[in-house]
Structure 1
Amino acid sequence: MASHPVTEVQFIHAQMAAAMAGQPDAYYELGVAYAVGRNGVDIDLVEAHKWFNLAAMSGDERAQLDRSEVAASMTPAEVAAAQREARAFLMQTRH
């Protein structure tokens, strides 16, 4: 039997579930997806920065570099929005 590739929607749902469970690798994968438009996700630099920020706070050095690269293409207001969204995500997922 041939295996079927994971659909774009399945990938994003799986990564979001992992992110909600606090898995830093999922934060990074979501950051990449939003930064480059991978897995059917539209490019959204605010979302990319948010996810890279969460991964960086978890100690992912790749995310620190990628966050800086994304931020270079953003306005200060967009960076501030991404930081607010990252804080809101942490507040939402901490019990």
Structure 2
Amino acid sequence: MANSLKSARFLIESRLHDAVRGNVEACFELGMVYSSGAAGADIDLVEAHKWFNLAALSGNARAQECRAEIAADMSASEIAEAQKQARAWLQTANRRAA
């Protein structure tokens, strides 16, 4: 169990590092991790939707499909929270780039 938790943390941290640098594939992969519980991560549909949304905004068609698939299992308030978090991420990223 401890190894899978370490693996999940490493995967998420490395993908976050790449996402901060604008890597769209990293955003998509974070969506996959949180939507599926890959590498021992907890499933978190709000977090997954956020990352799929960020990847979709950059034109990733598969992220658009995945976002729509998980949205079917989410409440309106969960989707609104995911969108709010995506906007906050974009604002933070824009400040870092400036």
Give the alignment's TM-score, normalised by structure 2: 0.88
User: For 1:11-52, what per-residue CA distance to the aligned partner results, in whole angstroms no more than 9, with x for missing partners?
Assistant: 111101001111100000000000000022100000000000
Partner of 2:93: 93
Shift, 1:91, TM fit: 0.5
User: For 1:29-77, what per-residue CA distance to the aligned partner results, in whole angstroms no more than 9, with x for missing partners?
Assistant: 0000000000221000000000000000000000000000000000000
CA-atom RMSD, angstroms?
1.2
2:5 is the alignment partner of 1:17:
no
* Distance in 2 of aligned mates of 1:72 and 1:18: 28
Partner of 2:3: none
Q: Which structure carries more helix by proportion?
A: 2
Identity among equivalent pairs (%): 48
Matched pairs, number: 90
Q: What are the ranges of 5 or more consecutive residues in structure 1 without an aligned counterpart?
A: 1-5
Shift, 1:10, TM fit: 1.8
1:27–1:52 Cα contact (<8 Å) kept: yes
Give the alignment's TM-score, normalised by structure 1: 0.90
* Distance in 1 of aligned mates of 2:10 and 2:54: 22
